[in-house]
Structure 1
């Protein structure tokens, strides 16, 4: 009897080892991984926010290539030939989600900047479709690229003459797709509150050098 029990002990060791291995494997696969917040933010940024209060801003879009501003005309055409402070160059930018998706409407004309399936910029009275939504992408050179929400990989872009470039031929790194946000002439001093600090990108070009020198002298 004792001999039978002594023979059973070596046989139980492999069984216990297999049970322990299976338990460890089960524990590793049942532990939940931490939530991927970056993925959640990306997914939520793709959705239109219908419940939150929309943030509306008014500024101009300075084109890096034409040296002038994007404007929305009353005939639904869009170009980048607007002068600083021109009525058609004043844009009302409305947030669409908690991310960086926006709708851009000409203040004077009332038309939204949209993009059709051929990659052409057009003006529309109602800008609720994804073709009228753009994602703001801040680049390393401090310029902003505007990618269409419906046609991903297609960007708002203009030639040196201020004419819209076909979006299917645009890339994020191209100068034609680079813009800088600027407040309209006269808007800065009249609507600024005490102690407001404005990003350098929205200051008038004539004030940026002075603004930079002031900040450097304060830091000394």
Structure 2
């Protein structure tokens, strides 16, 4: 190894390129792949956490996590309807946890929706699918084609009996009653002199 190092320092750059053996190139490729995988894992570990409610199109109420039991009969602003949604950096894979109960929404191998205290299992990961009608569907990341859904009584539907076109699997993200997402104002707004002036007038209206 030391002899190769000395020779590589003395040899011209073009000659060095032809000196590497196929075995060394394979090792270098493996090292690079290992580095990329580690970097990817580090990036994925950085979660974006949001708190909001999931409005059910079927019941007209909100998904709530009571613990092991989950339904879609929650009131707007109800403590069990507040959801902590962890979004992975890459893609739209999410984990949904009840802010009050601390349990995650999961789907087991039978398609049953249950709450679990630990959301690290792949059964607790869902993929967001954005629909044309402004609703969102949540499909299991582990069991392809099985969706999170609730019937008219607010009870969970078996994943195997769901399809994306069913209203039972359509949800809308909502902020708690009387609360506004602090990032909403800045997400799609370009700040200019005009918008600054508009904000000042909004917060300090003139009185006659």
Same fold (TM > 0.5): yes
Change (3 A) 1:152 1:51: closer
Contact 1:49 1:96 in 2 (8 A): no
For residues 177-196 of structure 1, what are the structure 2 equivalents within 5 Å? Answer: 177-188=169-180, 192=182, 195-196=185-186
Change (3 A) 1:167 1:51: closer
Q: Does 1:56 align with 2:46?
A: no
Instruction: Write the deviation string for residues 137-166 of structure 1: whole angstroms up to 9, x where unpaired.
Output: 001111000000010100000011101011
Matched with 1:123 is 115
Unaligned runs of 5+ in 1: 1-43, 199-220
The counterpart of 2:64, out of the listed 65, 71, 76, is: 71
Contact 1:133 1:149 in 2 (8 A): yes
Q: How many residues align?
A: 150
Instruction: Write the deviation string for residues 172-195 of structure 1: whole angstroms up to 9, x where unpaired.
Output: 01100000000011321xx53694
Query: Equivalent residue of 1:196, what SS?
Result: helix
Q: Residue 95 of structure 1: CA displacement?
A: 1.2
Unaligned runs of 5+ in 2: 1-36, 189-208
Matched with 1:166 is 158
TM-score, structure 1 normalization: 0.64
Measure, in 2, the Cα distance between the counterparts of 1:92 and 1:113. 11
Measure, in 1, the Cα distance between the counterparts of 2:83 and 2:159. 21
The counterpart of 1:136, out of the listed 124, 128, 131, is: 128
Cα RMSD, aligned residues only: 2.2
Query: Equivalent residue of 1:84, what SS?
Result: coil
Measure, in 2, the Cα distance between the counterparts of 1:196 and 1:169. 40
Change (3 A) 1:194 1:124: closer
Q: Does 1:90 align with 2:82?
A: yes
Query: Equivalent residue of 2:97, what SS?
Result: strand
Contact 2:46 2:88 in 1 (8 A): no
Contact 1:96 1:133 in 2 (8 A): no
Contact 1:112 1:126 in 2 (8 A): yes
Q: Could you list the structure 1 runs, at least 4 aligned residues long, displaced by more than 6 angstroms after superposition.
A: none
